[in-house]
Amino acid sequence: MSYAFSEDRTTYVREQLLEDKGDGDALKDISSGFACYFRMWQAHGVGTVVNTTMTIVAITEGDYPDSGGTKSGAEGYITPASAYGRVVCRVVLADTGTVDLTTISGKREFVWKQWEASVEPSPGS
């Protein structure tokens, strides 16, 4: 899925985590023991320009619907403050039961999804 970002405007980001079981994909239950973050960097800049916690949610439609208490998705509302141009976006899963002081969260982090996008100026700016 691709997302369009504009300065001072909100974009809804929603992703589902699947894992390869060897004989096919299956949802990854992240309902406990995990936190999820959305991060954005300028493609040729230093430091994050967006770092926000996402909400872990159940995905109830599609090829891999969650059931019971299972939650395999994350969603968040992302609002870049400026027209950053080219950016690198990441959805990051953190194992809350670990410690890793080299990461932003201080927990062991896994890149769930990464892509490049643009943050465009808002109309009229």
* Residue 68 forms part of a structural domain: yes
Tell me the C-alpha distance between 29 and 4, whole Å: 28
* Residue 59 forms part of a structural domain: yes
Residue 11: CATH number of its domain: 2.60.40
Record the pTM: 0.91
How many domains does the chain fold into?
1
Residue 86 has what pLDDT? Answer: 95
Which residue is it, tokens 């982090």?
109
Question: Which amino acid does the sequence have at 99?
Answer: V
CA distances, 113 to each of 16, 36, 61, 67 (Å): 10, 11, 20, 23
Domain coverage including residue 77: 5-120
- Mean pLDDT (10-residue bins), the chain, 125 residues: 91 94 89 97 88 97 92 97 94 97 96 95 78
Residue 122 has what pLDDT? Answer: 85
* Residue 125 forms part of a structural domain: no
Residue 36 has what pLDDT? Answer: 98
